[in-house]
Amino acid sequence: MFRFLFILFIVVPIIEIMVLINVGTWLGAWPTIAIVIITAWLGARNVKQQGIATLNSVQTKMAQGEMPSDEIVAGLLLLVAGILLVTPGFVTDIFGLSLLIPSVRSLLIKSVQSHLVMNQSAAGFTYQSSVHTQQEQPFTSDPFEQGLGTKKPIEHHQGETLEGEYERKE
């Protein structure tokens, strides 16, 4: 983790400064600044469009009862792309623009998902679900009929039972 943070906060800015100086000497200061501002603006606009499309896809899948795992990872990658594109510099713009290409993003989505699945299995996470369905019986009494202070037994109705574990955090 230290190496990643070292590269992120020390090496990348040094590379960005070197590239900006070289481009600035080749094109001039104002054209270099204009290119950096234009790429940030166009990138942010493109990230916004693709983000809205991803959000619509998430809503569609959720309405169909499917888990939008691909779209969630794609949304995170679009967030990273937006951060990279708004960060001044050409190197970060190249990485941010590459995340806006759907084929590159789909490769990264598969890589991230396989990494998550491997980490979950290595940590011993399992998911089990058991749903018991029986014929439901209609309520025989109104649950609000019981007055305050009355001690009537609680009626248990047969229906779907979901079993699982939970942890209360306060």
| Of residues 95, 2, 108, 96, the one with CA closest to residue 41 | 96
- Report whether pLDDT(116) > 80: no
* pLDDT, tens only, 86-95: 888 899 999 9
pLDDT confidence tier of residue 20, bands split at 50, 70 and 90? very high
> In angstroms, what is the C-alpha Rg of the chain?
27
Tokens of 163: 């079993």
- Report whether pLDDT(166) > 60: yes
The percent of residues above 70 in pLDDT, for the chain, comes to 72
Indicate the Cα dihedral angle 69, 72, 73, 78, nearest 10°: 150
| Cβ-proximal residues to 35 (8 Å cutoff; 6+ apart), any chain | 23, 27, 90
Highest mean pLDDT among 3-17, 26-40, 111-125: 26-40
CA gap 81, 93 in Å, rounded:
8
In the chain, alpha helices (H): 2-6, 12-27, 29-63, 69-86, 90-99, 102-123
User: Is the pTM higher than 0.85?
Assistant: no
pLDDT confidence tier of residue 21, bands split at 50, 70 and 90? very high
* pLDDT, tens only, 63-86: 888 888 888 888 889 999 998 988
Domain range list for the chain: 11-121
DSSP assignment letter at 7:
I
CA gap 154, 140 in Å, rounded:
12
